[in-house]
Every structure is written in C-alpha cells, then in structure tokens.
Amino acid sequence: MGPFPLRRLAPRELSPALQAFGPVGDSVWVEGPVPIGPVVALVGTRDATQAGVGFTKELARALGRRGILVASGGARGIDAAAHEGSLDDGHPTLAVLPTGPPRLYPAAHAALFARLRASGGTLVWPFEPRTAAHPSRFFLRNGVLVALSVAVVVVEAGAPSGSLNAAAWARRLGRPLYACAGPPWAEGLRGGTQLVAQGARIVRSTASLVEELSVLCAAPSLPFAAPADATLGDDAAGGTAPWEDGIPLDDDERAVAAACTAAPSYRDALLLTTGLSGSQLAAVILRLQLRGLLQELPSGQLAWAPGRRTA
C-alpha cells in the first residue's frame, strides 16, 4: 500500500473547481496524490490513427515538462496515448474512470493503470465502490474530467465521437477548448473540424499550443470564463469604454478592449487594428479571458463581456 491509499473525499478536497460540479454528488474516490498544480485534459477517439497517437504523446511529454499534469479517461486510443506519453517521459498522470473502485476500465489497460500508480499518478472514481461501467456513466466521467481541468484539448475525434461530449462539458463549464481540425476527407478529424467551426481554438502545432497553455496555467489564479454560449446582452457592442469604468488595463489590453467593445472581432482583424504581433495578441487575449473580461463567441469572434469588473 503506497502513501496515498484509496480514500473517499469530498469533491472540494480533490479540487475547489469540482465542488461546484453538481452531478458528481457528495464524494469521489481517489487513489494517489491530490493534484496541486494545473491540469489539462487530452481526449479523443478510441480508434486513433498512428499520427494521432504520436501527436498526443508528444503533447503530453511537452506539457509534463512545463509542470502541467495531463489527465484523461484511461480508454484506448487517444486517452491511453495521453497517459503513456506522460509516463514515458517520467511524469505522473491522472485518470478519471467510468466505474467505482476498485474496478479498472477498460480491464485490458491493467498494465497501464499499474504504471500510472507506480509513477505517483492519480486514479479518480466518481462512482460508488464496485459500480460497473455503463454508457450513461461515461458522460458523467467526462464532466468530472473537464471540471478538474484548466483546459480541454480534443486531439482526434470523428463525428460522432464520445470526446465531443467532453467538448460539450468544456463549453458548459467555461473551460478553454482546443481542437485539431483537418481536411474534409480526414474522417477522424471531422469532429474536431466541427468544434473549431463552433468556436473552439484550433490546434496549429505542439509548440504553439504548449506555449498558450503554459500562459494559461501560469496565471496567479485560474478563474474560469463564462461558457462560450453565454448570452452577452444588448450591450455586447458599444457602450462605455472599459477603462472609463475603472478597469485597469495596460496599453496592449486597452487596444484589444477598444476593438472588441466597438464590435465582436476575429483574431485576424485584431492583428490589423491593434498592430500587435501574433504572440502578443494571444497573450493579451488570454489575460483578458482569465479576468473574465473577454468572451469567445461560437463564431470564433471575441467580444467584451458586459458587466465584468476587476478589482
């Protein structure tokens, strides 16, 4: 028995973010350490391509090297690649299972779960002991996984795909959502392409994604933005300039705020109107989103969030 035996925790003991997740109930079962740093969920299809598996492992390794804990659902395909990429590089990982302890699902991944335990990783069961896997429980498992995470990355997903449910939870819970898109003939990326069309942030490369997630995870606090489909109200465009409402902004933030207060704007348009470089603009957008001042619409446009204030 290791230093972190199986134990029953209140949701808030595992993560403050999980406390507000109503469907989880009064307790969760946990084996392994409680995460103390940022968590990013990597999800995708069980029928992963070799390229998808390779990309996922590369991304998991890169995130682990930045001190970001990779989480997934333990399933075959992209989930397993996320865990394996972390473990292969010497990093712990976290798995949320669709069962109750001590059941491991899928049973064929017993060796993977043994590696996870030996590495100092964490297993989370949202259900009562000996609860068996059932299709309905996968949806709640996905919700718990997303609630524990700072952001969600859909690496490879067809349409339909179970990972699209995780994406739906990300929108509902206000987590930044990233997805890999592809050409029309790439069936395994149709779900990701659909998510990008609906407003998810497109994954362009491992390096750029890791940089963006590192900025997100390095924030002093990690308030979660409003869901992407939140109603903006009649004052989404126009109205009082944010700096006139006493909101402290630096010059770059003020330029983005001015453009997005006038009307919802695409990132390409903001590059032209603000004169910022791509990396500067990405950093400003992240800072404003973390403060709850900027919302990304389903169209992919960015709009000033009315009624938001900072101290």
pLDDT block averages, 10 residues each, the chain of length 311: 81 84 83 94 96 97 97 97 98 97 97 97 96 89 94 89 86 89 86 90 95 83 38 31 58 84 77 79 83 78 65 36
Burial of residue 308 (number of CB atoms within 10 Å: 0-12, 13-18, 19+): middle
Residue 231 has a pLDDT of: 28
pTM for the model? 0.72
Residue 285 has a pLDDT of: 86
**What is the domain class of 242-304 according to CATH?**
mainly alpha
Q: Where are the alpha helices (DSSP H) in 148-205?
A: 163-173, 190-197
Answer for the pair 236, 301: CB distance below 8 angstroms, yes or no: no
Residue 240 has a pLDDT of: 39
CA–CA distance from 190 to each of 51, 82, 148, 164, 198 (Å)?
Answer: 15, 20, 26, 11, 12
Element (DSSP H or E) covering residue 162: none
- Strand pairing partners for 96? 124
How many CB atoms lie under 10 A from the CB of residue 266? 13
Residue 41 has a pLDDT of: 98
In the chain, where are the structural domains located?
A: 7-217, 242-304
Give the span between the Cα atoms of 292 and 104, in whole angstroms.
38
Give the span between the Cα atoms of 74 and 103, in whole angstroms.
12
**∠ CA(37), CA(290), CA(200), 5° rounding?**
95
Read off the amino acid at residue 309. R
Q: How far is CA 195 from the centre of its chain?
A: 13
Tell me, yes or no, if the two domains 7-217 and 242-304 fold the same way: no
Give the span between the Cα atoms of 198 and 179, in whole angstroms.
11
122 Cβ contact partners less than 8 Å away, ≥ 6 residues apart: 4, 30, 31, 32, 33, 34, 35, 92, 93, 94, 95, 116
Q: Residue length, the chain?
A: 311
Burial of residue 256 (number of CB atoms within 10 Å: 0-12, 13-18, 19+): buried
Give the span between the Cα atoms of 261 and 22, in whole angstroms.
34
**What is the domain class of 7-217 according to CATH?**
alpha beta
Q: How far is CA 134 from the centre of its chain?
A: 24
How many CB atoms lie under 10 A from the CB of residue 230? 13
Residue 306 has a pLDDT of: 58
Residue 236 has a pLDDT of: 30
